[in-house]
A and B are shown apart, each in its own frame.
Chain A
Amino acid sequence: MPDLSRWLNAHLWLVYVFLYAPILVLMGLSFNRAGMPTAWTGFSTAWYGKLIESPEITSAAFNTLIVASVSTVIATMLGTALALGVSRRRPSSALEALLFAPMIIPDIVLAIALLSFYTLLGFTLGLHSIILSHVVFNIAFVCAIVRTRLRHFDYSVVEASVDLGASEFTTFLRVTLPMIWPGVLAGALLAFTLSVDEFIIAYFTAGPGSSSTTLPMRIYAMIRFGVTPEINAMATIVMLFSFTLVLVSQRINKGTVTRS
């Protein structure tokens, strides 16, 4: 039925327009010479220049990179270890639910919970508390992605390695890790992306002052005085950055599934 497929095709494109038109408008406006979003007055990259010149924004971007990198490294190690441990256990739906919960609990709930927890412990707030909070939900994401790779993992290769004289540690480094590596890397990239644009949890668990302000928090602060082209420029950068990471992570995970 060519008619139906034509309609479905049109529907597909409409959905894409609905999803991406606002973003494209935003990207376009970031190159608008005028400060107001009401009229197009010519192409300019001036707003990007202003972005770099602002110390508040560069320091926020720096904070975000620190939070994202450190939390990604920790979450990737813990999440991978968790996935390996869980996959060797007998399946249990309760355990399963507990593993997925951090991914689906509303951010605001997790944010409040973490803040109360830190306060209860008398934990000082700052970049480190944001990092810790991001590790919490990122473990769940890394674990989920690594587990999809472990689903068809043949544990007899691990035994074969031990049988051939390797220690458990050597076996992990030379056999297990290379085999699940694409999953680990994809998990890490996703964790990094999630951490870069996470706002609510960072906002709640950040310390006072601007020393632990991340980029999304800075944007939120700026937007209270109206959407400026600077914000559009920054959003464009963050968007392209995240999009690239997601694309790369998908590529990595797909590329090797077919190979093994």
Chain B
Amino acid sequence: MNPREPDSTCMNRDDAAAYVLGALEHDEHERFREHLAGCAQCRAEVAELQPVVDELPASVPATTAPKEMRARILVTVRSEAQLLDAAGVGADRPAKSARPWYRRNDFVLGVTAAASAGVAALVAVLIAVGGSSHTKVVPGEGIGTARTAEVSLTRRDGHSELVVRRMPQPALGRIYEVWLKRGESEPQPTNALFSVTNGGSGAVDVPSLHGVKEVLVTSEPTGGSLHPTSAPVIRVALGSA
């Protein structure tokens, strides 16, 4: 940029508005960003206009976010938090100023990549790192529409959790329900209902498995059913429990 009189108008000043609105072409956007570093006038213009653009979302008509969306987000977040927790990160957390190891990009990318690649073994690996001698991971199988699913049931200190990857989302208005089969009797319903993320990940706590031979999952109307209304899409066979 050529030197200018202090009160002269920068010829790029009109770009500032298009810049904060995200309306510059890609190469223009990059050029203007470089220009900003050397032009106080344009920096001031951007600083003035950016807060206005930040308020534009408030002009949108308010719509309530779908409950299922919130539920799917929380299922993923809780399962990732549990994976990290199972790895024992809480026990030896580094000093506040240091970047925790599990927040390093390589680890987060690893978890994300592993989840999207459907590596159910990650669960076992992380729990092994946790070092609990009471942890048992039982693999399960996906059936029919869920045949691509990676399924595992982890049992730790009397607590059981079903973790799935690459599982198709339930149809609209339906949810996955966990059933417990003891002996030859009909599967018993549980309050363990879950959905999965777009990437097909999900996790749900499973009630006591005492005497249970098989853990089954079916697709049921939202709210769950007392008797299965469709064929199982997941089966985890347990030894004598």
Q: Do the two shown chains form a genuine complex with each other? A: no
